[in-house]
Chain A
């Protein structure tokens, strides 16, 4: 029903197995962060990988999703699932505004408009009273899922995050391999031709953008609950840059690429921390190697090698 090819089904089963077993081996909080970042990257990949829209402002949806989820959970006392939906709704509204302006232009101009709008969101977060400035929103309660399951325990939280990730992942996959997704890919390949075939490409782009922004908001909101904080880091333009790198590293336009990219980048952030200043140097070196040696990203090259579409 989700339009998986044979190789993709195998990949999906492997991914599910890893999600189910890894918290017994690796630290669950670390894995939750990987899943949140992976969902964010998958949402971003929908735009760049399948519509060919290069957004440099995705941190705005991710970060604002985080802020509003944190605010809803802490100040309004909403349950976690509702708080995360609030985050998603904020992403959707912002996405609608961004897309309305940005899709009027293409290529570099599109990227610059999204970047500029994201910077405006950043300044809003820096100044708005409810975001707590550079201290951020702290001590956000994880609460009880549906009012009954306490998420204070890391394992309960982990299964919740895993559930959100899998739903988001399946949704994106369904979209990409639907007739709607076919039109998106047609726009990516040749927009004038898609228009000449009678498609209102702007509408398609707008819907894809809003969808991507919504999922980015949900990812940001989930992350805010996992760590109990929402801070400026997530709305900063470096986060927009990170998600581009994650997607490139994993493989643009592949469904598993962003997940692998997120795993690699978050692991580096986490496990290289003890080596001090080497974190950034190592990250840089890995990106250079990636761009020079496997330009299609880890999954893209793997798929090319096995002649499979992953």
Chain B
């Protein structure tokens, strides 16, 4: 199947989708100046990650595209909901690449979907800019020359939250762990950094996943351990439920709770009253400096109810870097080979409002500093989204898994 040529535009499928009559018209307008660069935002719009990615990701991709208006090539942004089903995600990715002329797919929270999309991007020699998924496999055993991993991964979260917290005095830990591969990995990684920084791990309560909604007995054993920090090695609704119940038990008064995978939108959803004192890691916060504040104002104008987190910042930053590379290479050449374009992207330093200056490693990992935040008390906040206090910064060269440990096949070559 070849990429979309002009003949594809008159496919009867278009007729079937009568409601989409506007699409061929748009495509026709863009054809005047060669095939447009097309960015597909594949994200979760209806499930648990809709605030983590969702419409705000689409807004961020459009912001980046907007900066390249009138640079000699047209940029289009389309979006779809992968519904957290890997087969739906991979199906949309194939269709986008084969039929709809999409050159690059961004975002994609949900590791299962992301790994599937990454494989499709490699097969079709297109590009996948992963901002939403957590798995380090994307730059490890399953790394490809067509995928870049932006924003964060589980190693960096464990490293920052585990290591930096111990340095700040939280030197004895107890874990509440979702008992499956993801939770166990997070606990193992974080424990290693806690111990490596001179702290100790007093115990862990693995709980059955999924389906556990009552964490009280696990929280009681955590309390009885007299550890200073309770590490939550889980994600999504489990994290939110365990934080709420810990607050009800008064655990937050005696222990510091460290959420190993959580973003500002979750804190906002739980409410500051409950979430205060929580520590967590992100690579972006809107109130870090003048540039992040200015950029966030642009996003919030279009997405007023959902402020950007590190995933959204990654969508903007990765699209911007991709489009810079396209501007340098020329649109036709960039569209010809995804792998060549990704190689070019790796060779250029990144620079944007969200992450400042950064770089991309040979295995596709972008390197930015990791920030450890504590959630402010309601009395300390000046506004609704004024939620974080910066506690510690792990520099970019220490925050990420060393290249040699990843096992990425590209590195041996």
Give A contacts to B, CB under 8 Å: 25-27, 29-30, 33, 126-127, 132-136, 138-139, 154, 223, 227-229, 231-234, 269-271, 273-277, 279-280
Contacts and interface: CB of A to CB of B under 8 A. Distances in A.
Interface of B: 1, 11-13, 16-17, 45-46, 50, 54-55, 78-88, 90-92, 94-95, 98-99, 111-112, 115-116, 119, 135, 137, 142, 180-182, 209
A233 B13 contact: no
A273 B88 contact: yes
27 contacts: A27-B13, A27-B99, A30-B95, A33-B87, A33-B91, A126-B209, A135-B112, A136-B86, A136-B115, A138-B115, A138-B142, A139-B142, A227-B86, A228-B116, A228-B119, A229-B86, A229-B90, A229-B112, A231-B86, A233-B112, A270-B92, A273-B82, A273-B83, A274-B81, A276-B54, A277-B50, A279-B46
B87 A227 contact: yes
Contacts, number: 112
Contact of A126 (B78, B82, B180): B180
B81 A276 contact: yes
B45 A231 contact: no
Contact of B116 (A25, A133, A138, A270): A138
Contacts of B79: 274, 276
Contacts of A136: 86, 112, 115-116
Contacts of B142: 138-139
Contact of A233 (B85, B95, B115, B119): B85
Contacts of A277: 45-46, 50, 81
A237 to B, nearest CB: 11
Contacts of B91: 29-30, 33, 227, 270
Contact of A139 (B16, B88, B119, B209): B119
Contacts of A232: 112
Given A136-B112, A274-B80, A269 B180 contact: no
B112 A231 contact: yes
The 9 closest A-B pairs by CB, nearest first: A133-B181, A276-B45, A273-B80, A277-B46, A231-B86, A138-B115, A233-B85, A139-B119, A229-B116
Contacts of B13: 25-27
A228 B209 CA distance: 26
B82 to A, nearest CB: 7
A35 to B, nearest CB: 13
Contacts of B90: 227-229
A170 B412 CA distance: 51
Contacts of B80: 273-274, 276
A274 B209 CA distance: 31
A274 B119 CA distance: 22
Given A27-B95, A228-B119, A276 B88 contact: no
B180 A223 contact: no
Given A139-B119, A273-B88, A134 B180 contact: yes
Contact of B180 (A25, A127, A233, A273): A127
Contacts of A134: 111-112, 180-182
Contacts of B98: 27, 29, 154
A232 B113 CA distance: 11
A271 B18 CA distance: 12
Given A25-B13, A126-B180, A133-B182, A154 B1 contact: yes
B119 A138 contact: yes
B2 to A, nearest CB: 12
A32 to B, nearest CB: 9
B340 to A, nearest CB: 22
Given A136-B86, A231-B86, A271 B181 contact: no
A154 B180 CA distance: 35
B123 to A, nearest CB: 8
Contacts of B84: 233
A133 B180 contact: yes
A273 B46 CA distance: 10
B403 to A, nearest CB: 21
Nearest to B82: A273
A137 to B, nearest CB: 10
Nearest to A155: B1
Contacts of A27: 13, 94-95, 98-99
Most chain-B Cβ atoms within 10 A of its Cβ — which of A133, A273, A277? A273
B95 A29 contact: yes
B135 A135 contact: yes
A27 B92 CA distance: 11
Most chain-A Cβ atoms within 10 A of its Cβ — which of B12, B54, B86, B137? B86
Given A27-B13, A133-B182, 7 more contacts: A132-B181, A136-B86, A139-B119, A229-B115, A231-B86, A231-B87, A233-B112
